[in-house]
Amino acid sequence: MIGFLIRKSFYDIWDNMFKIVVLNLGFVACTAIPIFLPVLADKFFNYTALKIIFVAAGILICSVYLSAAAFSVRVISDYGAFSFGGFFKNFKVSWPAGLVMGGFVFLVFIIASFVLPFYMNMDPPLAGLVIAAIIFWTTAFALLSFQYYFTVYARLGSSIKKSFKKCLLISMDNTGFSIFLILNSIVMLLFSVLLAFLFPGPVGVLLYIDEALRLRLLKYDWLEENPDADRRKVPWDALLIEEREKTGTRSFKNFIFPWKY
């Protein structure tokens, strides 16, 4: 399943390179608010509260943008055709989920910037380190689980509360897979630095996570049809027959000169 996930994600990201670059360009523009405006506020006003407000506003805007992008890349993952018109329409249904996740990301920012340093420098040192470790690992588990959030809301979400609950359940039931997924996402983002986050970038990562969740859900469809089956022995080869037929295989020449084939 892992090998097919990587192959299908690579095909879809490559085939939609231009659209992903454009969407990433919009996201990069949104990041100007939490990155550059606080710097300007520090230079001309030197108010910490104003800097925090700019950071919070920027995080919320970026989160709403990614929420709309998650709805858009779902179409690509489902072998459909992406349209920029559809992307803008997605804002109408995605902005509440984006605001909630933005609030969570801002909370993580506060914890990393203020809460953890406070406890790590607290006296006595041992008590502070214990509290800091608890906060750190709790936050790490939340990040591991909520990497699915945008995709779960776009693909399964009937409500924000249920989306968070489903993220937790999926992560706990697929811990190794979730760790693999977040590590690959980090590698993709690090590679994106070379291309100014335009490709594959955050939108490419969203598509990768959507591909992963979509394929992982086949496991639960199978378990529903076979309630007495061993959930540790999922017949992925049988479950992915149709997916492999739709995706096909390509040579290196197919990628470089697709119009010849």
pLDDT tens-place string over residues 96-107: 999 999 999 999
- Other Cβ atoms less than 10 A from the Cβ of 92: the count is 9
C-alpha 54/C-alpha 44 separation (Å) is 14
Stronger pLDDT, 249 or 198, i.e. the higher one: 198
CA dihedral (14, 19, 23, 26) in degrees, to 10, reads 120
- Least Cα distance to 79 among 8, 2, 7, 5 occurs for 8
Burial class (CB in 10 A: 0-12, 13-18, 19+), 205: buried
Contact 144, 179 (CB under 8 A): yes
- Other Cβ atoms less than 10 A from the Cβ of 86: the count is 14
C-alpha 127/C-alpha 63 separation (Å) is 35
If DSSP codes are grouped into helix, strand and coil, which group holds residue 78? coil
Joined together, the tokens standing for residue 232 give 């540790």
pTM of the entire structure? 0.92
Joined together, the tokens standing for residue 9 give 């994600």
108-162 pLDDT per residue, tens: 999 998 899 999 888 778 888 999 999 999 999 999 999 999 999 999 977 999 9
